Amino acid sequence: MKFIYLLPAAALAAAPAHAQDLNLGGQPGAAPVPIQITAQQGITWSQDAQTVTANGDAKAVRGDVTVTADQLVAHYVKKAASGTPAPAGTPAQAAAASQPTSANGGTDGLDQGNAQLTELDAIGNVHIYTPTDNAWGDHAVYSMAQQVLVLTGQHLKLTTQHDTVTAKDSIEYYAGEHKAIARGNALIVADDGRSIAADVIVGYFAAQADNAKPGTKPVAASSPDALGQAGNLQKVEAFGHVVIKTTTDTATGDRGIYLPPTGQARLGGNVHIIHGPNELEGADALVNMKTGVATLLAGPGGHVSGVVLPNSGKTK
């Protein structure tokens, strides 16, 4: 097995504290931590293309985050002596490019921090995981500068301690913007069976340091918290063919907003609520995901209609 170390872009040392779950960025104020890349079938370093390609059971590890795939391609830029990227064709770049290959399959220049990792591509049977969270797909691209992970392919899936997220087109994680997006038949299923489905689902997070209760210590910056951890997911926006299911009700609409801390959800546009034999329709609806109580609201100048059987449920 061959291995190599790459240092991520220095800018990532200031990555937000909350974005340490499936994020390869560094901790605030900390020195860049090398990313270790290993492979069973060998590692190819292209100085012209400025890439390091690992083939066969390839693995990249940085802190608590591990990426495995059939192939990993790391894109990097040379650094000048001051620690900033050197322009192409400069003497500093030429000197970095001439660094000898070490016996372990890496390069002395990279091992000494003469390169900055700008992008990591994972191709084939991709699995990204931390001690608590997992993501699967066929192809993943992580941009160091933008702090964005895009996962595509078949059977896209993200699991956390409390939720399972699936999508048909892509699952995207924006560490710098505190959000994740699932596109195409997106679905979030909680461990208690509640779920939200839509064409596109956007989840917004709070910083982990903000989640600590009075008298307790904030969550460590390296804690592998993600979508489902209690208190971290602050808001969910759903767009197109929205379906919210509780243990007792099903509510549908064109768009929706869900606030996990309170359990409240609001649906808008062609809203329908089904509770057992009861069927109601209106312009908007409020759904309490914790209690299962759904309240249908009429739009301006409109009305609520439906069929309700006496003593058949909590829908009102």
Q: Which of 259, 179, 213 is nearest to 19 (CA)?
A: 179
Question: Domain for residue 39, yes or no?
Answer: yes
99: Cα separation from own chain's centroid: 36
3-state secondary structure 222-265: CCCCCCCCCCCEEEEEEEEEEEEECCCCEEEEEEEEEECCCCEE
Question: Domain for residue 270, yes or no?
Answer: no
Q: pLDDT digit of tens for each residue in the chain (316 aa)?
A: 544 544 333 222 222 222 235 556 555 455 667 788 999 999 999 989 999 999 999 999 988 889 999 999 999 988 765 545 544 443 333 333 333 333 334 433 343 367 788 999 999 999 999 888 899 999 999 998 888 999 999 999 998 878 899 999 999 988 888 889 999 999 999 888 889 999 999 988 876 554 444 444 443 333 333 333 333 678 999 999 999 988 888 889 999 999 888 889 999 998 988 888 878 888 888 888 778 777 877 766 566 554 455 555 554 4
Task: Retrieve residue 244's tokens.
Answer: 């919210």
Question: Domain for residue 265, yes or no?
Answer: no
* Count of beta carbons in the 10 Å neighbourhood of residue 299: 13
3-state secondary structure 158-226: EECCCEEEEECCEEEEECCCCEEEEEEEEEEEECCCCEEEEEEEEEEECCHHHHCCCCCCCCCCCCCCC
Question: Domain for residue 230, yes or no?
Answer: yes
Could you tell me if 20 and 33 are in contact, meaning their C-beta atoms sit under 8 angstroms apart?
Answer: no
In this structure, what CATH number is given to the domain that contains residue 165?
2.60.450.10
Q: Which domain holds residue 65?
A: 2-245
Question: Domain for residue 254, yes or no?
Answer: no
Q: Which of 110, 117, 178, 109 is nearest to 142 (CA)?
A: 117
Whole-structure pTM over 0.85, yes or no? no
Task: Retrieve residue 149's tokens.
Answer: 């992970």
CA atoms within 13 A on the CB side of 158: 27
State the total domains in the chain: 1
pLDDT single digits (tens) 103-151? 334 433 343 367 788 999 999 999 999 888 899 999 999 998 888 999 9
Question: Domain for residue 283, yes or no?
Answer: no
Question: Domain for residue 78, yes or no?
Answer: yes
